[in-house]
């Protein structure tokens, strides 16, 4: 399976660059949903980009737009999803040429409550409208400024 946070085995490669995140494991459940967890850190009260999602065709045109749903909100902050142009980060060799220009995608931002420090987490479900579904748990270490 390709190496970014969200991926797909098939003719369309789906990737998400996890800014500051490290993939800590993934599996597929009996329904075919990929389950993974990411570990990250953020400064208290500071809006921090957690990742981005995109799905491009081989010719770098948009295949589908990600639909991201917050399944479990963070206890000590908030999450925002923003449709914007982003630089993809394909590593599959076929689409890595797409990495040099911005393309439509969805960025994911986390902001903790001001003054909070400690652990927080949230869960999202990402679908692309073509059968790919990913459930991701984002674990965050919030550090005081």
Per-residue pLDDT tens for 78-121? 999 999 999 999 987 899 999 999 999 999 999 999 999 999 99
Helix, strand, coil percent values for the chain (each to nearest 5): 5, 50, 45
Cut 0.95: pTM above it: no
Domain range annotation of the chain: 14-143
State how far the Cα of 41 lies from the Cα of 127, in Å rounded to an integer.
25
Reduced to 3 states, what is the DSSP secondary structure of residue 108? strand
Q: What is the pLDDT of residues 1-46, one digit of tens each?
A: 223 343 333 333 333 333 333 344 678 887 878 888 889 999 999 9
Average pLDDT over residues 67-73: 96
Give, as one character, the DSSP assignment of residue 29. Answer: -
| Residue 135 CB contacts under 8 Å (≥ 6 apart), including other chains | 33, 34, 35, 36, 71, 123, 124, 125, 126
Q: CATH number for 14-143: choose from 2.60.120, 2.60.40, 3.40.190, 3.30.70.
A: 2.60.40
């Amino acid at each position: 399976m390709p190496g970014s946070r969200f991926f797909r085995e098939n003719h369309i490669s789906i990737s998400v660059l996890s800014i500051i995140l490290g993939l800590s494991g993934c599996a597929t459940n009996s329904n075919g949903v990929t389950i993974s967890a990411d570990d990250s850190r953020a400064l208290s009260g500071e809006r921090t980009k957690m990742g981005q999602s995109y799905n491009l065709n081989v010719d770098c045109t948009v295949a589908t737009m990600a639909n991201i749903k917050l399944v479990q909100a963070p206890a000590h902050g908030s999450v925002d999803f923003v449709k914007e142009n982003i630089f993809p980060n394909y590593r599959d060799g076929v689409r890595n040429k797409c990495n040099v220009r911005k393309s439509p995608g969805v960025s994911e931002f986390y902001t903790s409550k001001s003054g909070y420090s400690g652990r927080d987490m949230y869960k999202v479900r990402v679908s692309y409208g073509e059968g790919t579904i990913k459930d991701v748990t984002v674990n965050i270490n919030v550090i005081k400024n």
